[in-house]
Amino acid sequence: MLNVVNLEDGVALVTLSESTSRSAFSIESITAIADTLDGLMDDPTVSAFVLTGTGKMFCAGADIEAFGAAIDDGSIGEVVQSLTGVLHPLQLRLRASDTVFIAAINGAAAGGGLGLALTADYRVALQQAKLAAAFFSLGLSPDGGTTWLLPRLVGTQNARRFFFENEVWNGEVAVEKGAVDELVEGDAEDLNRRAIEVATLWGSWAEMSRRSTKQLLDAQSSTFFETQLEFERALITASSLTAGFGEGVTAFLEKRQPNFGKKETNL
C-alpha cells in the first residue's frame, strides 16, 4: 500500500501505491496510511517526511462503490464514523507534531485526500495536480478538516466558492489561490526532489522550534492577542530549557551553523 524510503538528513519519502492513491479511504487504506505516518512521527531519527502518490493520483477520497453497498445494508453511518475516526486524529497529530510534513501533489487530491494535503506544512505540486473537494457531487458536507484548513490558506470566500461551485484547481490555480506553496516544472521525480529539499531544510531546525511554531500559527487565528502572547511565553520558556537552545547559543558564539539533531532532551 505504501513504500517508505529513509533518506539522508532525517528525511523519509512515503509513496502511496497506485491502488492506494486511487482509493485511499477504505478503512484498510486509511489505517495503513495512519499507521505509517504515526510511525514516522514516533521515529526519533525522522525529522521530516514527504508524502506523494503514484500516477495521476496523489490521494483520492473514499471508495464510492463501498459507500453504495453500505447505504444498501444500512451501515453507512458507521462506515463514515470509522473513516473519520482514523483520519481526523491523524490530522490533529500531524498539525501539532515536531515532524515536518511536506505534500508532493503529483495528481488528484480529492475529498479526504484533499484534507490530508491541506494538513501538510508545505505543499508543492505539478501543473497537472488537481485539487477537488467533490463532497457536493455526492450530497455530502465537507470533512477532512477542509473547512478549517482551506479558508486559512485562501480566504473564506474563495473557500466558499470552491465548495459551492464544485471547483477543481490545477497546480497553477492552486498556487495563485494560495492552497499550494510552489509549482514544480517537470515530472514526479522533479517534484519529489524539490519536496525533499524543503523537507531537509525545514526538518533541520530544533525540534521545539518546529513543534512550537506549528502550534502557535494554528492557534493565532482563533485566540485573542493577549492569549497568544501567553502561549508564546510558555513555549519560548519551554524552548529555552532544551538542548536545542543550548546548541543554538553555542553555535552562535562559535560562529558556526547549529547542528540540532533530530530529537532533543532538556538541559
Q: Total domain count for the chain?
A: 2
In a domain, 264, yes or no: no
- Averaged pLDDT of the chain: 94
- Boundary-marking domain end, from 168, 187, 202: 202
Which three cell numbers, joined as nine digits, stand for 225?
A: 492577542
Average pLDDT in the 61-71 region? Answer: 86
The per-residue pLDDT for 21 is: 87
The per-residue pLDDT for 88 is: 97
The per-residue pLDDT for 263 is: 61
In a domain, 266, yes or no: no
What is the C-alpha end-to-end distance of the chain, expressed in Å?
Answer: 41
What pLDDT, in 10s, does the model give residues 98-138?
999 999 999 999 999 999 999 999 999 999 999 999 999 99
Question: pTM for the complete prediction?
Answer: 0.93
CA of residue 22 relative to chain centroid, distance: 18
Taking alpha carbons only, the member of 112, 155, 151 closest to residue 131 is 112
Residue 267 scores a pLDDT above 60: no
Of residues 106 and 60, more confidence is placed in 106
In a domain, 261, yes or no: no
Taking alpha carbons only, the member of 2, 31, 1 closest to residue 15 is 2
| pLDDT bracket for residue 25 (50, 70, 90) | confident
What is the span of the domain harbouring residue 135?
Answer: 2-202
The per-residue pLDDT for 74 is: 95
Asked whether residue 113 falls in the same domain as residue 223, the answer is no
Count Cβ atoms within 10 A of the Cβ of residue 43 and give its class: 0-12 exposed, 13-18 middle, 19 or more buried: middle
In a domain, 123, yes or no: yes
HSE (side-chain half, CA atoms, 13 Å) at 236: 6
The per-residue pLDDT for 264 is: 58
Q: Which residues contact 57 (CB under 8 A, 6 or more apart)?
A: 16, 18, 21, 22, 106, 107, 108
- In this structure, of 9-13, 63-67, 88-92, 109-113, the range with the lowest mean pLDDT score is 63-67
- Boundary-marking domain end, from 142, 170, 202: 202
CA of residue 39 relative to chain centroid, distance: 15
What pLDDT, in 10s, does the model give residues 146-196?
999 999 999 999 999 999 999 999 999 999 999 999 999 999 999 999 999
- Boundary-marking domain end, from 179, 202, 225: 202
Residue 261 scores a pLDDT above 80: no
CATH of the domain at 154: 3.90.226.10
